[in-house]
Chain A
């Protein structure tokens, strides 16, 4: 398998250009599916490669549970720098597994706590919380998804803006956007090079819900105003962000970009031309992902054949 086993660990880098360009040049639904798909495939391949390295790496350790024959020189020769790579792969794989487990558990816990917070209220599909000081709204997925909003937010919006807000949250629930978010968060845990894709998908799912809401209520401008005014109400910089120090050269955050996108022309649903920047980036990512899949498959098959040959039956 040679150097091929290392490729899936770094090939996620090929998805960076498309993660940057997709949000401007693709319809948010297409972008979400594309980036999530790339993330998942690249993460699986990367983790598989790590596991193969662990097999070779652990075979050298005294007292490991693997068959003795697996530490044959032929097996170790399958991986370049087998000692270093094998040793490094063990903590890396453990870290990936622990990190993914923690993320999944965190998801489960937050959703359970949120559902529990609403216990004792009637089971309507929209929950209005009497809280005038905090303006927020979110979609709580579950067997029967609910939209939760505070009076502080709802009262401050006009009638059409409220419809935009609820249409946006419904779009999250019907589109099952939380699954995309969980998938890319897990992928980013499996390989840190996939973090830009996580950030991009967090943005494209919001854009997706914005566009669905705009279709539903028939006005992009109203959705833009609802998003913008809600953000100004919820207001305030996140704690830890130093005003004045970072703000000068900070790029625009997600909310102004969403508002600007809604105020601009609608995004075409068609794919961009393969010769445009976004088209090339998408091709690059597709090629990288294919290479990653082939490299990890090739490495897995090779190692399997070597181990089979080395193991006396």
Chain B
């Protein structure tokens, strides 16, 4: 896969944020809430296409009046998460879906959980992290009981 130069990414990134700020019109609130949903829609569209497509194609396919730069924003964000890959064709990129909607949700979820600490956790996780001492204790406990030796 062709890796774009940092300069191209930086240029694109700068353009995006500026555009996002411009876009805070009446619909900005609902669009912010729907960010995850938009990402899912873009991934779905690319998966259905079954091959590499341009941002223009994605924009047309979604057909919800999204600005071209918004589509680029979403695609670049998905690229950063590893949910889509891209390839330079001529002067623009063509995008291919790598993950599906569920895979995308998994990537997003991972980021939410990585930011959480056990001590002040909001989402009660099934298990918390183990110290090496805990791990030894736990292996001992699990090995103790009768008929427990299959792993």
Interface positions of A (Cβ within 8 A of B): 103, 106-107, 110-111, 113-114, 116-121, 127-131, 134, 136-140, 148-150, 153, 165, 168-169, 172, 177-178, 181-182, 185, 199, 202, 205-206, 209, 221, 224-225, 227-232, 234-238, 241, 243-244, 246-248, 250, 252-256, 259-260, 263
Contact = CB atoms under 8 A, between A and B. Distances in A.
Closest 5 A/B residue pairs (Cβ)? A120-B40, A119-B36, A117-B108, A129-B106, A247-B133
B125 A237 contact: no
B1 interface: no
Contacts of A237: 129-132
B126 A263 contact: no
Interface in B91-144: 99-106, 108-113, 115-116, 118-135, 137-139, 141-142, 144
A235 B127 CA distance: 10
Given A117-B105, A121-B101, A241 B122 contact: no
B contacts with A: majority SS: helix
A138 B137 CA distance: 24
B131 A139 contact: no
30 contacts: A106-B120, A110-B112, A110-B122, A110-B123, A117-B111, A119-B35, A127-B105, A129-B103, A131-B106, A138-B125, A138-B126, A139-B124, A165-B126, A224-B142, A225-B142, A225-B148, A227-B127, A229-B142, A232-B130, A237-B131, A238-B129, A238-B131, A243-B132, A248-B133, A250-B133, A252-B133, A253-B128, A254-B128, A259-B138, A263-B145
B8 to A, nearest CB: 29
